[in-house]
Structure 1
């Protein structure tokens, strides 16, 4: 008589986001993490992964499919990439590891392929060590839809805005302005279009009200028109996200 196998559910799960251009090459990572009681989300593109970063406990960037020159360039790019305080792990080939100045690397590194279950050990260790730096992520429940831009996190379901883990109190109009700029993905929005979309009016003579509210929004974000971090002015036209 065949014995039944008792299935035990994971008592606690943590979420890992993997950003990999070719996930098939790291299927063992996904399998081991899933077996280790992690919820795993995989994104092909960096932008997609970062938009969902706030809902994760760990980000894993897969550099194993890049050639040495491409991998080094991607590594340099990731050095300046904001992850909203979410800890990250870089998977690299052994050939790339030899070209890296580890003293200049802020993220954790793991040479892949690695020993069985090593990815689980590293994920658990990194999440534990970085738990104290993720105050904002614990405020968002699973299933929310945060948008991320530099160190700004926007939970659209709760209409909440965080900067570096600290909630910023915005009026509804200021919040709507910020969301319109984020949704534009860097495109220039004229004062007239903002007036119509946010205030619901096409009254051209009142476009200066947009300037007043953008000024207030900038002040709350700690931004400056002369040296913008978040909102740039396009003279004579309107506004866009800063570079």
Structure 2
């Protein structure tokens, strides 16, 4: 049975989240201290399906835990819990490698639904990696996405990229020249078709532009289609 680790310093939150995940059929472990959580994850991440992680923690905050786990190449999916609404917090959390976020106060049902969506997408990615018929490298202009190595290169230079940014860029490149709505991207990349807002898509697009555009304010790869969403274009005109 998959194990969910719940990290929050509020006992009431830990109890509520644990109860709802157990009802949904998951094993649950809880930790209240950030530093302890990091050590537990390092030692036992192989048996963890998901981490539900509060941003504000004693010992080590959620952003630092995210940063260290991704630096350690530990790719367990992470959903952030945040009571703060400032976009900079969401941007930093996602940039550190979180897969999704839920704002406090939250609906336990929504949290479990988002967790299932993240896990479905994570499992689907694992199946794709084993598909011998799928392409291993996607190319457009100076952008090269190596699916087997999970690497992004721009003009031959290796670029740091988070797992979720990689998924989004892969979906864009597999659907070149197609206009993709934010709702469609939420459905296909994050695994749910509706959300309280679509900023999570815009944040990730902004990050990708910073990494693959010479001028992120005047993008040539990921273009905005006003009122709809985005379109990925190959400026070289190749159909690689």
Q: Is the TM-score greater than 0.5?
A: no
Which is greater in Rg? 1
In the superposition, the TM-score normalised over structure 1's length comes to 0.41
